[in-house]
Amino acid sequence: MPQNNTYQLEIVVSIPSITIFYPDLTYSFGDNVREYDALIIAKINNQPIVLLAEEVSSHEESGKVIVDLTLEYPPVLYVFNKTNDYKMFLTPLRLSIRNLSLPRTIQPDKLANIWANGYDLFNLLFYSLLFMHRETLEKILNDISELEVPRNTNLCLLSELSKCLKSIIINNNSSNNIISTSEKIKSFKYINISTPKPADKIIAKLAAKETVVYLLPQLLREYESSKVRKYFPINLALAILNILSGNTSKLYFRVIGLGAGAQYSKYILNEIKCFIKDLKINCDIKGIIEMKPEAMSKIIIEDAEKIVSETTAPNVLVVVAGDYNKKLFTELIVTIASIFKNSKYKILVFPEVIYCILRDIEKKLVSTNAPLNYNPEKRKEKKVNPIKSILEKDILLIEDEKARKLIKLLTQLRGEK
Amino acid sequence: MPVPHFSYNYINFKHTPVSEKQHISTHRKLNNEKIFIPLFYISAKKNPAKKLIELLIEFGSFFAIKPSSIKIDHIDILGGYILDFDIYKKALIFNIKKEKDKKGKSEGWGKLRIMKTLKYLSEINTLSPFSARIYFTIEKPIQEAWSPSYIKFIHENLKKSTFSCDIELFTYYAKKLEKLGLYVENPDGYMSALSIVAWGTGAHRHGMALKQIAAQELLESIILNQEKASHALVFLSALIVDTYAWLPYILGRKEVALTSELQYAIAATPLRELEEATRNLSQVVPSLRNKVYIRLRKELNHIHIPQNINEFCKYLKQLEQAIRESIKDHYSKDIKREVLIGRLNILSQEIAKKMKKEKIKKILITLTEQTAPILMEIIQLEATDIEETTIIYTPQTLYNRLLFAEKLGNIKKVHYIPVSSIEPAITEEILKKNMRNRYDLAIIQGSLTIALSVLDNLHDRIDSSKIIFV
Strand-pair partners of B441: B363
Contacts of A245 (CB under 8 A, 6+ apart): A251, A281, A282, A283
Local structure of B36: helix, strand or coil: strand
Nearest-Cα distance to chain B for A250, in Å, is 29
B chain contacts of residue A142, beta-carbon cutoff 8 Å: 416
Instruction: Give me Rg for the CA atoms of chain A.
Output: 26
Local structure of B470: helix, strand or coil: coil
Judged by a CB distance cut-off of 8 A, whether residue A150 touches chain B is yes
Residues of A numbered 25-44 whose beta carbons fall under 8 angstroms of chain B's beta carbons: which are they? 25-28, 33
Nearest-Cα distance to chain B for A284, in Å, is 28
Q: Do A70 and B124 touch (CB under 8 A)?
A: yes
Predicted pLDDT at A362: 57
Cβ proximity of B321 and B359 under 8 Å: no
Judged by a CB distance cut-off of 8 A, whether residue B391 touches chain A is no
Selection from B377, B401, B311, B295 nearest residue B349 by Cα: B311
Residues of B numbered 154-183 whose beta carbons fall under 8 angstroms of chain A's beta carbons: which are they? none
Contacts of B137 (CB under 8 A, 6+ apart): B76, B93, B94, B95, B163, B165, B166, B167, B170
Q: Do B449 and A394 touch (CB under 8 A)?
A: no
Q: Do A155 and B429 touch (CB under 8 A)?
A: yes
Predicted pLDDT at B356: 72
Neighbours of A341 (CB within 10 A): 8
Q: Do B423 and A117 touch (CB under 8 A)?
A: yes
Mutate to test the interface with A, among B68, B429, B443, B459 (most CBs of A within 10 A): B429
Q: Do A140 and B418 touch (CB under 8 A)?
A: yes
Selection from B91, B376, B351 nearest residue B217 by Cα: B376
Neighbours of B12 (CB within 10 A): 15
CA dist A281 and B286 (Å) reads: 61
Cβ proximity of A260 and A219 under 8 Å: yes
CA dist A295 and A298 (Å) reads: 5
Cβ proximity of B396 and B418 under 8 Å: no
A chain contacts of residue B268, beta-carbon cutoff 8 Å: 221
* pTM to 2 decimal places: 0.93
Strand-pair partners of B467: B442
- Which among B63, B126, B261 has the least Cβ separation from residue A132? B63
| DSSP string for residues in A299-325 | HHHHHHHHHHHH-SS-EEEEEEES---
CA dist A23 and B202 (Å) reads: 17
Pick among 1.10.275.10, 3.40.50.2000, 3.30.750.24, 3.40.50.10810: CATH of B356-469:
3.40.50.2000
Q: Are strands B5-7 and B10-12 parallel, antiparallel or unpaired?
A: antiparallel
Predicted pLDDT at A139: 96
Selection from B231, B190, B184, B235 nearest residue B45 by Cα: B184
Q: Residue ranges of the domains in chain B? A: 5-187, 229-345, 356-469
Contacts of A6 (CB under 8 A, 6+ apart): none
Using CA atoms, how far residue B384 sits from B346, B348, B363, B380, B468, in Å, is: 22, 16, 12, 5, 19
Percent above pLDDT 90 for chain B: 67
Residues in chain A: 417
Q: Do B402 and A150 touch (CB under 8 A)?
A: no
For chain A, the distance separating the N- and C-terminal CA atoms, rounded to the nearest angstrom, is 69
| DSSP string for residues in B347-371 | HHHHHHHH--SSPP-EEEEE--TT-
Using CA atoms, how far residue B22 sits from B2, B16, B28, B79, in Å, is: 11, 11, 10, 26
Residues of B numbered 321-380 whose beta carbons fall under 8 angstroms of chain A's beta carbons: which are they? 369
Selection from A40, A120, A26 nearest residue A78 by Cα: A40
CA dist A380 and A382 (Å) reads: 5
Selection from B430, B422, B432, B433 nearest residue B457 by Cα: B432
For chains A and B, count residue pairs whose Cβ atoms are closer than 8 Å. 184
Selection from A74, A76, A117, A77 nearest residue A97 by Cα: A77
Judged by a CB distance cut-off of 8 A, whether residue B417 touches chain A is yes
CA dist B48 and A239 (Å) reads: 60
For chain B, the distance separating the N- and C-terminal CA atoms, rounded to the nearest angstrom, is 60
Selection from A206, A214, A151, A209 nearest residue A398 by Cα: A206
Predicted pLDDT at A417: 53
Judged by a CB distance cut-off of 8 A, whether residue A394 touches chain B is yes
Q: Residue A372 CA to chain centroid, in angstroms?
A: 13
Q: Do B402 and A143 touch (CB under 8 A)?
A: no
- Which among A24, A26, A70 has the least Cβ separation from residue B422? A26
Contacts of B136 (CB under 8 A, 6+ apart): B93, B94, B95, B96, B115, B162, B163, B164, B165
Per-residue pLDDT of chain A (417 residues; tens, 9 = 90+): 566 778 888 888 888 889 999 987 766 677 889 999 999 988 888 788 899 999 998 888 899 999 999 998 889 999 998 776 788 888 888 889 888 888 888 887 788 888 888 999 999 999 999 999 999 999 999 999 999 987 788 888 899 899 888 888 877 666 677 777 778 777 766 677 777 889 999 999 999 999 999 999 988 877 888 889 899 999 999 999 999 998 899 999 999 998 888 999 999 999 999 999 888 888 999 999 998 878 899 999 999 999 999 999 899 999 999 999 999 999 999 999 999 999 999 999 999 999 988 876 555 788 888 999 999 988 777 767 888 889 999 999 999 999 999 999 999 999 865
Selection from B390, B196, B76, B405 nearest residue A148 by Cα: B390
Averages of pLDDT over runs of 10 residues in chain B (470 residues) are: 37 41 52 80 96 97 95 95 92 91 70 92 94 87 75 82 84 94 96 98 90 97 91 97 93 66 62 85 95 96 93 96 95 89 94 82 95 95 92 96 91 94 93 92 95 93 93
Contacts of A266 (CB under 8 A, 6+ apart): A257, A287, A289
Cβ proximity of A264 and A219 under 8 Å: yes
Mutate to test the interface with A, among B109, B449, B461, B468 (most CBs of A within 10 A): B449
Q: Are strands B72-84 and B36-45 parallel, antiparallel or unpaired?
A: antiparallel
Cβ proximity of A329 and A216 under 8 Å: yes
Selection from B377, B315, B302 nearest residue B341 by Cα: B315
CA dist B366 and B347 (Å) reads: 13
